[in-house]
Amino acid sequence: MGDAMKQYVEKILLLAGVLLCCLAIFNYCMDEYGIFHGNYSEPKSAVPQHFVKIRYLLAHPKRYDAFCFGSSRVESLDLSRIDNGLTYYNMTYTEGLPQEWLEDLRLLLAHGVTIKQVLIGLDDISYISDPRAYKSNLFRAHYEQYNWKTYLAFLTVRPFAFHASEQKIMYDVYGTGRTFHHQTEQLIEEDPDKHIHDPKFMESSHQTGDRVDATISEIRTIKQLTEEHGIDLIVFINPTHKTTYLALDRGEFNEFKRQLAHVTGYYDFSGLNEITENNYNYYDTAHYRPLVGDMMIDRMFRTGTPPQDFGVWVTEDNVEKHIRALESQDDSQ
């Protein structure tokens, strides 16, 4: 390589290094995702919830003693409505999966976090999505004791690269663990009819895949872990919007429910009912609104009177009858 070319390459490398340092300084100072300074007082477009929530809980092992695990769909559960003496934290994060919840529980217990009750919210994602597919997803990063790779990745990520929309969300990381869609809620209430007839409700959010057996095994291990530590376990299946529910392989969904009933009893909020068929109750065909979460709490903790057909208690004794009822609903469509 000639001297001129060598000098040119050195200048390019120097410039790249300077630009990278500037990017890192910018990302650290702006901290758009709350990873460095932990400031969630203002709405954000995205936050690596899995990472920051575990980091927070390990730093405050005695602050909570009951936890709700699930995908982003359980974000609408207001656990503060449960009046049983426990202090709840909502561990919702994007596409959270049973294998991850098992790892989280083991990590929390190993670090002395007090756990008296665990709720896990299941849905089609639970037995379809493969956790290995998310290993490289920065916003689903797992918390580990020395996380220099994750911090470095957030220092060098392109600013605002993960903004999916102009609407921002409040992340209550240091309180309930929930996320709040205040802007979306306001828009819905300003014109409910427009929301109900939004074309987005014609688009299913379902995915494809088959991890039924693996997922059941993971849930069985979670149950064993909770029994070993004297932890009360409550399992439920989220209410799936009608459009997504009808697009699913319901035979596979029912098989998942059948196997699940032989591991643990659970509340099934899915199926076709007056809640899941009403667009007003949903943000989109994946996520239900807080008014639905309140009805779920009412059913599971007997704090109110939700619709009679919303939330069926399923065990190995009645699971076949329950599945026949679901199949009858399908036939009527």
DSSP secondary structure of 93-162: -TT--HHHHHHHHHHHHHTT---SEEEEEE-HHHHH--GGGGTT-GGGPPP-S--HHHHHHHHHSPTTTT
Please report the DSSP string for 30-55 in residue order: H-TTSSSS---SS-BS---HHHHHHH
Please name the fold of domain 31-331: Rossmann fold (3.40.50)
- pLDDT band per the 50, 70, 90 thresholds, residue 304: confident
Instruction: Give me the mean pLDDT over the 219-231 stretch.
Output: 98
- Helix (H) / strand (E) containing 170: strand 170-171
- pLDDT band per the 50, 70, 90 thresholds, residue 311: very high
* For residue 318, pLDDT beyond 60: yes
Q: What is the pLDDT of residue 149?
A: 75
Q: What is the pLDDT of residue 47?
A: 86
* For residue 155, pLDDT beyond 80: no
| Distance (Å) of CA 17 to CA 26, 160, 207, 313 | 14, 21, 41, 59
- Residue 148 vs residue 160, higher pLDDT: 148
CA 215 to chain centre: 16
Give pTM, 2 decimals.
0.89
Instruction: Give me the mean pLDDT over the 36-64 stretch.
Output: 90
* For residue 145, pLDDT beyond 90: no
- Residue 226 vs residue 140, higher pLDDT: 226
Residues in the chain: 333
For residues 118 and 89, what is the distance between their CA atoms, to the nearest angstrom?
Answer: 10
* For residue 165, pLDDT beyond 60: no
- Residue 11 vs residue 264, higher pLDDT: 264
Domain ranges of the chain: 31-331
* For residue 51, pLDDT beyond 70: yes
